Amino acid sequence: MASLGVRRMNQPLGIRVCCCRICTCINFGFVLSPGGLLKLMQLGLATLCEGLLIRYGVPYADSIGQALTSFLATTGHCFTTTGILLLCYCFSDKSYGLIRQSLFETLFHGLASCMYFSSASYMGFACVVWLHPQFLVRPGFWAYPAMTAAYYMGYAAGLLHAIDAYLSFKHFRRVS
């Protein structure tokens, strides 16, 4: 029985081009599995949050304060670690089995979920207290809607990491 996200033995690796296969080192079976799609959604939300924070938040860093720094650090670290895990799983079936069965992924996703929830809450507070009054007074002040969207996406990313932590813990308990 194959684990969540691991390709089955009869599923070929790589990309089929005419009569042959290329890039056989890449395990696309994981990317298209529920675990792989969950990681891709985590990466997508982190990318969107980071882009909004840099584009619209950095110019108003004095108004936003430490909430911006906290959220930038959270998205940056979670994006990097999730990206590395996704690359490892795409290029090695053994990596999936060895990393997923360890406690690392459970702890990482649990901590990432807590970090996203806390930094998104702090950003929400900063938006309501400091950015919303400026939004009401200054026309064309796009920092408030952008930071509001960023902290909403931060809550969604925290939820995705919590789901992944639960799935990792179930896998950890099943193996050990």
Contact 110, 92 (CB under 8 A): no
The verdict on residue 21 lying in a domain is: no
The verdict on residue 11 lying in a domain is: no
Contact 97, 172 (CB under 8 A): no
The verdict on residue 123 lying in a domain is: yes
The verdict on residue 1 lying in a domain is: no
How many CB atoms lie under 10 A from the CB of residue 116? 29
Q: What's the pLDDT score for residue 86?
A: 93
Q: What's the domain range around 138?
A: 34-173
pLDDT in tens, 95-136: 888 888 889 999 999 999 999 999 999 999 999 999 999 999
The pTM score is 0.87
pLDDT in tens, 9-59: 345 666 777 877 777 777 777 888 899 999 999 999 999 999 999 999 999
pLDDT at 167 over 50: yes
Q: What is the Rg, in whole angstroms, of the alpha carbon atoms belonging to the chain? A: 19
The verdict on residue 19 lying in a domain is: no
The verdict on residue 143 lying in a domain is: yes
pLDDT at 2 over 50: no
The verdict on residue 20 lying in a domain is: no
When divided into structural domains, the chain yields a total of 1
